[in-house]
């Protein structure tokens, strides 16, 4: 039996109280991580361990070429298993980070066997029958019948965590966002390309151009309207998560030679006016948000400071002086943690706390 204990306690905000409750509600919990050998899969194992999720049986899962590869979780070595074996073991929860095609093929098979699937790919996000969840924003939409839950795009996650308390107070009309996204969002091949270029080494490339000392206004493929799929994800996912199709969003997503996390410049227009002091007060107590907004002392969020942290960091708060009811803000988060692994684990924590998975959950 494997069971981890938390390496650190979290501040007792509303959502974090739910996390702590889940960590101590320790019924048997069989957990599979699908894509366990990838960057995000490894981070998911790290986050499960750090947050003390009550894992009593652990199954690392990957493609056939990785079967038998050793991975370490909670100080114990495990051998990677294949998809068929993992489905047959009937884990209580399977956290997927293995690509859209894999999720489309295998998530329904796990779900049909009673497993709750939390999927990090884009495969299910805009399916009207599947919930798209950021726990600090809309965890309450999850029900006992949900067997596949979609984890949103990394850039969308950090933005909506910061926007949710402001939307509740002032009602958002329009969002203009430009992102500055880490190469880690592409994966190990992109990290290798950056480091090879930095060290003058020829190697395989993840991008069509040099990324070191450069930036690429191109994330994912271009669509017919001239936007990339990454940009349209931010448009469509924001509306679904916030539960408000009236919110207008336009995005420009940019890849930058950074490995700490994603950054965003966000211009948000509200229906109602605001004061900066009130905005700061709202964000200072918002679940999952860390306010870093002290320009007099050069304090503002940076990706190097967000690295390996779960919070969404917000700063550079200022009015847009060109039109009323409009705020400029800067949002930074670790894309492998809150943008992927941590958000997925938080969904599992919420469902565990609410008895939606595990021995008290409802079978498929």
Residue numbers annotated as active site: 154, 262
Which residues, listed in sequence order, are joined to residue 132 by a DSSP beta bridge? 150
Q: Find out whether 2 and 8 touch, Cβ atoms under 8 Å.
A: no
The answer for residues whose C-beta is within 8 angstroms of residue 170's C-beta and 6 or more apart is 270, 271, 272, 273, 274, 325
Q: Find out whether 48 and 4 touch, Cβ atoms under 8 Å.
A: yes
- Joined together, the tokens standing for residue 63 give 């493609």
Q: Find out whether 212 and 203 touch, Cβ atoms under 8 Å.
A: no
Q: Find out whether 282 and 170 touch, Cβ atoms under 8 Å.
A: no
Nearest to 100 by CA among 57, 168, 156, 150: 150
The answer for residues whose C-beta is within 8 angstroms of residue 129's C-beta and 6 or more apart is none
Question: Dihedrals φ, ψ of 224, to 5°?
Answer: -65, -25
Burial of 111 (0-12, 13-18, 19+ CB in 10 A): middle
1-37 in b/e burial notation, b at 16+ Cβ within 10 A?
Answer: eeebeeeeeeeeeebbebbbebbebbeebbbbbbbbb
d(CA 331, CA 302): 9
Q: Which ranges of 171-228 would DSSP assign to H, the alpha helix?
A: 188-198
Residue 277: how many CB atoms within 10 A of its CB? Answer: 9
Q: Tokens 């492998």 sit at which residue?
A: 336
- Joined together, the tokens standing for residue 50 give 């750090």
Q: Find out whether 301 and 263 touch, Cβ atoms under 8 Å.
A: yes
Q: Which ranges of 38-97 would DSSP assign to H, the alpha helix?
A: 39-50, 83-88
């Amino acid at each position: 039996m494997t069971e981890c204990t938390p390496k650190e306690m979290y501040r007792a905000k509303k959502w974090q109280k739910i996390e702590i409750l889940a960590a101590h509600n320790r019924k048997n919990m069989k957990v599979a991580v699908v894509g366990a050998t990838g960057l995000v899969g490894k981070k998911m194992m790290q986050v499960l361990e750090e947050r003390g999720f009550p894992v009593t049986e652990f199954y690392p899962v990957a493609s056939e070429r990785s079967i038998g590869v050793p991975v370490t979780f909670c100080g114990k070595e495990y051998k990677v298993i294949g998809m068929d074996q993992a489905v047959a073991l009937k884990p209580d929860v399977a956290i997927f980070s293995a690509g859209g095609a894999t999720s489309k093929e295998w998530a329904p098979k796990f779900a049909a066997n009673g497993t709750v699937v939390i999927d990090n790919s884009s495969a299910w996000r805009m399916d009207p029958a599947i919930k798209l969840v950021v726990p600090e924003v809309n965890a309450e939409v999850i029900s006992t019948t949900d067997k596949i839950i979609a984890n949103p795009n990394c850039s969308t996650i950090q933005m909506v965590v910061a926007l949710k308390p402001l939307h509740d107070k002032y009602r958002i009309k329009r969002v203009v966002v430009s992102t500055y996204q880490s190469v880690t969002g592409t994966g190990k091949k992109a990290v290798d390309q950056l480091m090879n270029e930095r060290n003058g080494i020829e190697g395989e490339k993840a991008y069509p151009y040099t990324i070191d000392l450069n930036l690429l206004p191109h994330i994912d493929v271009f669509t017919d309207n001239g936007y990339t799929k990454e940009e349209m994800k931010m448009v469509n996912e924001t509306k679904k998560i916030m539960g408000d199709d009236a919110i207008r969003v336009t995005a420009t997503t940019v890849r930058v030679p950074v490995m700490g996390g994603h950054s965003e410049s966000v211009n948000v227009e509200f229906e109602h006016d605001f004061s900066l002091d009130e905005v700061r007060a709202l964000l200072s107590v918002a679940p999952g948000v860390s306010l870093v907004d002290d320009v007099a002392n050069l304090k503002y969020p940076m990706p190097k400071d967000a690295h390996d942290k779960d919070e969404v960091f917000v700063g550079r708060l200022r009015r847009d002086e060109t039109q009323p009811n409009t705020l400029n803000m800067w949002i930074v988060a670790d894309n492998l943690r809150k943008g992927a692994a941590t958000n997925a684990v938080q969904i599992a924590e919420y469902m565990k706390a609410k008895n939606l998975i595990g021995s008290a959950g409802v079978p498929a």
